[in-house]
């Protein structure tokens, strides 16, 4: 199947959906990737993990509502146009 901008958009949407539904208290905190990660560990640690945890938290807080809207649009599009 040809890789077009539409398939790229669908793949990105699915990936962002996956990041948005990672549950904070049931999963992330248990693995040590929760929002309060910095308080539990030693302070002053920087690098990829802190950036990743920040990215996940910010995606969840900022993008949950717009994602609902975009998902509704894409679902309607797929229903009507196959």
Which of these segments, 22-30, 33-41, 42-50, 67-75, binds other proteins (CB under 8 A)?
Answer: 42-50
- Give the position of tokens 């539904």: 21
CA 76/CA 70 separation, integer angstroms: 10
CA 17/CA 32 separation, integer angstroms: 21
Tell whether residue 12 is a contact of other proteins (CB under 8 A). Answer: yes
Tell whether residue 19 is a contact of other proteins (CB under 8 A). Answer: no
Tell whether residue 17 is a contact of other proteins (CB under 8 A). Answer: no
CA 9/CA 49 separation, integer angstroms: 26
Q: Which of 46, 69, 79, 81 binds other proteins (CB under 8 A)?
A: 46
Tell whether residue 55 is a contact of other proteins (CB under 8 A). Answer: yes
- Which two structure tokens, joined as six digits, stand for 60? 């969840």
Which residues bind to other proteins, rule: CB under 8 A? 2-5, 7-8, 12, 44-48, 51-52, 55
């Amino acid at each position: 199947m040809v890789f077009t901008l539409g398939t790229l958009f669908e793949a990105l949407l699915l990936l962002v959906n996956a990041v948005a539904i990672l549950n904070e208290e049931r999963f992330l905190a248990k693995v040590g990737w929760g929002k309060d990660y910095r308080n539990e560990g030693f302070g002053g640690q920087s690098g990829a993990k802190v950036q990743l945890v920040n990215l996940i938290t910010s995606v969840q807080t900022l993008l949950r509502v717009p994602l609902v809207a975009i998902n509704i649009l894409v679902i309607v599009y797929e229903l009507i146009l196959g």
